[in-house]
Amino acid sequence: MTLEWLELLKLGSIPLIAAVVGWSTNWLAIRLTFYPLEFTGLKPVFGWQGIIPSKARRMAEICVDSTLTKLGTVTEIVEKMNPSVIGQHILASIEPRIDELVDEVMLKRHRTLWQNLPRSVKHIAYQRIEDELPNTIDALVDDMSPKIEELFDLKTMVVAQLEQDKTLLNRIFLECGANEFRFIVRSGLWFGFVFGIPQLLLWYFFPSGWILPICGFAVGWATNWVALNMIFRPVNPTRIIGFTLHGLFLKRQPEVSELFCKLVTEEILTVEKVAQAMLQGQHAERTRALIRKHFEALVDDAAGLIKPLAQVAIGPKGFADIKKETGLKAIDISKETLSDPLFNRERAQAVQEIMAERMRALPSEDFQNLLRPCFQEDEIKLILIGGVLGALAGLAQLVWVFGAPI
């Protein structure tokens, strides 16, 4: 191979290497946005944690404030879950076990008395509870429904889940923005090649040692910057020379709305997790008090004619203990019953429909906030990393391709 051909190959390598730099820096930028989930390295400086996981709480708060709160109030979400259906589901789970549950409560509190009662007397208690339980469930649902805003804090529940489960937080961004992340990586290859052509011309006419590192920095920077802007700009459809331009992510609003709302309703806003938030969150005592109130009334109703005898036999405090234990048992059963995956999916579909409909109708300015925050937080840092890696690639090219001294 002649010297002239060798020089041409070296020159031709400039846009090719720029393409590799563009692809690799964009790939790395996406990778560093989401991984690793926990800090890896020597704290506080020498290491890295994915931008999203490192700011999990803030990202979760942005997700709620900028998106979820626009898709429905707590009351609307719970209404779509249909509290009456939830009540019937709990009832259907309890009814076959009434004898077992009554025995469990009585044996725990007053074993000797319960063991010595005639079967006919026990049967009266079983039957009265079975008869009154549907009314108790209905009354509980009617009592809780108007107070749902006071018993359940949507933001606190969602933020706590996403802060704790960083994998789920990543999934929201990765699944909703899958097409855009692929575009960022692939576009780095093509933009890098295009930006490498003026780099080639500069080097050809001004073969100075600083050209390749500086141009490498520019390529690494520009490929990230251009890709990010193409995803979110223009915010609204804009006609230019007969073409309609619109941010790539924003054009997918109907599709993303379905994906996001399916993920949220099946993983976050499930009946089970809403119930957990009500029973374990900051308003848990109020929720538990309501449940205890209605189930303690059920014990009173069920005791009926034998209540005076029971109070004589075990005393007022003993009878009060039975009512308290029944309320606590009802809370445990509710949590257990509402963990049914099939039931949760059925209720999720009802909520998903209304949320997706509203999300599809959001203005582009609001819709972009679903994905935009995952770049905005440390966008300059990611672009800068791309630039630094591009400069290092340019320096390596200068030394190993063009034979400049180190």
- pLDDT, one tens digit per residue, over 170-200 is 998 888 888 888 888 888 888 888 888 888 8
Residues 30-54, mean pLDDT to the nearest whole number: 85
Q: 48 or 298: whose pLDDT is higher?
A: 48
Torsion of CA 30, 34, 35, 37, to 10 degrees: 180
DSSP tally for the chain: helices H, then strands E: 21, 4
Q: How many other CB atoms are there within 10 angstroms of residue 69's CB atom?
A: 14
Cβ 196 vs Cβ 17: under 8 Å = yes
- Identify which of 255, 58, 59, 268 has the alpha carbon closest to the alpha carbon of residue 161: 268
- 379 pLDDT tier (thresholds 50, 70, 90): low
Q: How many other CB atoms are there within 10 angstroms of residue 237's CB atom?
A: 12
Q: Is the pTM above the cut of 0.85?
A: no
Residues near 251 by beta carbon (within 8 Å), at least 6 away in sequence: none
- Give, rounded to a whole angstrom, the gap between the first and last alpha carbons of the chain: 26
Q: What span, in angstroms and rounded, lies between the C-alpha atoms of 53 and 164?
A: 10
Q: What span, in angstroms and rounded, lies between the C-alpha atoms of 220 and 59?
A: 26
Lowest mean pLDDT among 107-111, 339-343, 385-389, 391-395: 107-111
- pLDDT, one tens digit per residue, over 101-117 is 777 777 776 677 667 77
Q: What span, in angstroms and rounded, lies between the C-alpha atoms of 18 and 25?
A: 10
Q: How many other CB atoms are there within 10 angstroms of residue 49's CB atom?
A: 19
Q: What span, in angstroms and rounded, lies between the C-alpha atoms of 128 and 110?
A: 19
Q: What span, in angstroms and rounded, lies between the C-alpha atoms of 223 and 29?
A: 11
At 245 the three-state DSSP class reads strand
